[in-house]
């Protein structure tokens, strides 16, 4: 009889854990495919979302950046080589950044050309302090492989140029951080604003060029001030 009591007692102690685990497993599995429990996730990084994926806005532990830094974005991005990076990787560099999509025929090639001209206008000894970053708004088509081909086709120096793709929500959050507007069209393309953003070494926005005509005077003044 004692044996039965011990078994029953063990079941009583174990069942709650099983139920808690299974109910959370089911809920998370349904929501995001993640097996991480929201509570344990909360304990780790204070996001109680059902997803274990980091989003841009979990800014804890990033106290090294000011409240205005785009580097507070903690999303995981994939570069043209398939390596996973966060924007904080660019700290201590000036960043010239734009959002684009590789199959864009009209505006994006002009933006990339403008960025190349900006690159060409920086003195060789200062160039090592700069990074040029293109972030796609078309993650379904712009895989790392497509981005790598784009970088080669456009003769982008991959020492300095990073092309990024990421999750749709991460792309939306970055667009919101930069004030970039875009909308998917029925034909699969995008309507979007043309925006080149300059970040200082702390990731703070110091200048944005809106539209396709680049204000070369303003940018050379800016570059001079950064140097």
Partner 1 sequence: MNSLRIKYLALLLIVTAGCCFSLPSEKNKSSKMAYIAGGEFTPLYKLNNGGSNVIVKPFYMDVYPVTNNQFLEFVKKNPQWRRSRVKQIFADHFYLKDWQNDTTLGIKVDGNSPVTFVSWFAANAYAKWAGKRLPTVNEWEFAAAAGKNKPYAADDAEFNKKIIEWYAKSNGNKLAEVGSAGSNYWGVYDMLGLVWEWTYDFNSALLTGDSRNDSGTESNTFCGGGSANATDVKNYAAFMRYGFRSSLKANYTIQNLGFRCVKDIR
Q: Which of 23, 40, 220, 225 binds partner 1 (CB under 8 A)?
A: 23
Stretch that binds partner 1, among 81-89, 112-120, 130-138, 166-174 (CB under 8 A): 166-174
Long-range pairs for 188-196: beta carbons < 8 A, 24 or more residues apart: 189/101, 189/103, 189/104, 190/101, 190/104, 190/137, 190/138, 192/99, 192/107, 192/137, 194/107, 194/110, 194/111, 195/98, 195/99, 196/96, 196/97, 196/98, 196/111, 196/114, 196/115, 196/118
49 binds partner 1 (CB under 8 A): yes
Q: Where are the beta strands (DSSP E) in the chain?
A: 77-78, 84-85, 94-100, 130-136, 161-164, 182-184, 190-192, 195-199, 205-210
Which lies closer to partner 1 via its Cβ, residue 82 or residue 211? 211
Stretch that binds partner 1, among 9-17, 121-129, 142-150, 158-166 (CB under 8 A): 9-17
Taking CB under 8 A as the criterion, which residues in 168-207 touch partner 1?
Answer: 169, 172-173, 175-177, 179-183, 185-187, 190-194
Taking CB under 8 A as the criterion, which residues in 64-93 touch partner 1?
Answer: 67-70, 72
Binding site for partner 1 (CB under 8 A): 1, 4-5, 8-9, 11-12, 15-16, 19-20, 23-24, 27, 30-31, 38, 42, 46-51, 55-60, 67-70, 72, 106-107, 169, 172-173, 175-177, 179-183, 185-187, 190-194, 210-212
């Amino acid at each position: 009889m004692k044996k039965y009591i011990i078994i029953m007692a063990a079941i009583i102690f174990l069942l709650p854990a099983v139920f808690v685990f299974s109910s959370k497993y089911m809920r998370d599995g349904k929501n995001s495919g993640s097996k991480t429990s929201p509570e344990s996730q909360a304990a780790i990084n204070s996001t109680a979302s059902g997803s274990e994926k980091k989003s841009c806005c979990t800014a804890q532990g990033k106290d090294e950046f000011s409240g205005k830094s785009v580097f507070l974005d903690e999303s995981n991005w994939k570069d043209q080589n398939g390596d996973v990076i966060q924007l904080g990787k660019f700290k201590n560099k000036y960043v010239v950044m734009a959002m684009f999509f590789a199959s864009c025929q009209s505006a994006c090639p002009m933006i990339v050309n403008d960025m190349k001209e900006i690159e060409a206008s920086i003195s060789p000894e200062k160039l090592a302090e700069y990074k040029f970053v293109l972030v796609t708004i078309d993650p379904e088509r712009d895989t790392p492989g497509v981005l790598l081909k784009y970088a080669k086709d456009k003769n982008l120096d991959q020492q300095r140029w990073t092309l990024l793709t990421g999750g749709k929500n991460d792309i939306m959050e970055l667009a919101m951080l930069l004030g970039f507007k875009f909308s998917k069209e029925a034909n699969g393309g995008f309507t979007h604003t043309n925006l080149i953003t300059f970040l200082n070494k702390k990731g703070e926005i110091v200048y944005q060029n809106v539209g396709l005509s680049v204000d070369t005077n303003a940018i050379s003044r800016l570059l001079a001030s950064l140097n």
